[in-house]
Amino acid sequence: MDDKAVLRARDFWTALVLLAVSIFFLIQTTEIPFLDSKAAGVDSAEWYNSAALVPFGIFGSLFLLSLVLLSIAIRDGGAGRALSAAGVGLDMDELKRLSAIAVILFCYIFGLVPRVDFIISSALMITCLIWGFHGGSRAAMLTSSIAIALPALYASVMHFGRDQWSKPLDDDWVTLAAFIVLTVVMFWHARRDREGKTVLRITPAVAIVCPLILVLAMAFGFRQNVPNRTGLVFKQIEYHYYVTVKPLFQGK
Amino acid sequence: MEFVLTQLSGFSTSLAALVLDPVTYFYLIPSVFLGIVFGALPGLTATLAVTILTGFFGNKFPLDQALIALIGAYVGAIYGGSYPSILLNIPGTAASAATAMDGYPLTKQGKGGQALGLTTTASFIGTLFGTFCLLIFVWVLLAVSKNIASPEKALLALFGIVLSGTLMSKDLVIKGWISGLIGLAMAMVGLDPLLSEERYVFGWSYLLSGFQVVPVLMGAFAIPQIMEGARHAIMVGKTPKVGRILPEIGEVIRRMPSILRSGGIGTGVGALPGVGEDVAGWVSYGVGKAASKEGHKFGQGSKDGLISAEAANNAAIGGALIPLLVLGIPGSPPAAALLGALKINNVIPGPTIDPALILHVVAILVLASLTMLLMGLFTARVFIMVLRIPQTLFLPVVMVLTTIGSFSVGGGINDLFLMIGVGFVAYAMNRMHYPIAPLVIGVILGGLFDETFRRSLLISDGDLSVFVSRPGAAILLLLNVALILSQIPAVKRLGARLKPGTS
- Judged by CB atoms closer than 8 Å, whether chains meet at B226 and A105 is answered as yes
**For residue B502, is pLDDT > 60?**
no
Q: What is the mean pLDDT of chain A?
A: 88
ipTM of this complex: 0.91
Q: B43 vs chain A: nearest CA distance in angstroms?
A: 15
Query: Residue A193's pLDDT is what?
Result: 67
Give the domain ranges of chain A: 3-81, 92-250
B296 vs A166 pLDDT, higher one:
B296
Interface check for A7 against chain B (CB to CB < 8 A): the answer is yes
Note which residues in 104-163 of chain A have CB less than 8 A from chain B.
105-106, 108-110, 113-114, 118, 122, 125-126, 129-130, 132-134
Nearest to A199 among B178, B393, B413 (CB): B393
B29/B331: higher pLDDT = B29
Task: Measure in Å the smallest separation between the Cα of B157 and chain A Cα atoms.
Answer: 13
Q: Can you give the pLDDT at residue A116?
A: 93
Q: Write down the pTM of the prediction.
A: 0.86
Residue A54, chain B, CB below 8 Å: the answer is: yes
Yes or no, beta carbons of A134 and B401 under 8 Å apart: no
CA distances from A63 to A56, A68, A170, B446 (A): 10, 9, 49, 18
Q: pLDDT-based confidence at B369, cuts 50/70/90?
A: very high
Instruction: Check A218 against B404: CB less than 8 A apart.
Output: yes
Within 8 A of A101 by CB-CB distance, chain B residues are: 227, 230-231
Whether A44 shows a pLDDT value over 70: the answer reads: no
- HEC string for A141-186: HHHHHHHHHHHHHHHHHHCCCHHHCCCCCHHHHHHHHHHHHHHHHH
pLDDT at B311: 94
Per-residue pLDDT tens digits for B70-120: 999 999 999 998 998 898 888 777 778 888 889 989 998 888 899 999 999
Which among A58, A106, A222 has the least Cβ separation from residue B184?
Answer: A58
CB pairs under 8 A between A and B: 169
Q: Which residue has the higher pLDDT, B140 or B427?
A: B427
B179 versus B238: which is more confidently predicted?
Answer: B179
pLDDT of residue B316 exceeding 90, the answer is yes
Whole-number average pLDDT of chain B? 88
Q: Is A198 on the interface with B (CB under 8 A)?
A: no
Out of B2-6, B124-128, B335-339, pick the least confident: B2-6
Q: Does residue B414 sit at the A interface (CB-CB below 8 Å)?
A: no
Q: Which positions 213-242 of B are in contact with A (Cβ < 8 Å)?
A: 223, 226-227, 230-231, 233
Query: Quick one: three-class SS letters along chain A?
Result: CCHHHHHHHHHHHHHHHHHHHHHHHHHHHCCCCCCCEEECCEEEECHHHCCCHHHHHHHHHHHHHHHHHHHHHHHCCHHHHCCCCCCCCCCHHHHHHHHHHHHHHHHHHHHHCCCCCHHHHHHHHHHHHHHHHHCCCHHHHHHHHHHHHHHHHHHHHHCCCHHHCCCCCHHHHHHHHHHHHHHHHHHHHHHHCCCCHHHHHHHHHHHHHHHHHHHHHHHHHCCCCCCCCCCHHHHHHHHHHHHHHHHHHHCC
Structure confidence by residue, pLDDT tens digits, A59-112: 999 999 999 999 999 999 888 888 887 777 778 888 899 999 999 999 999 999
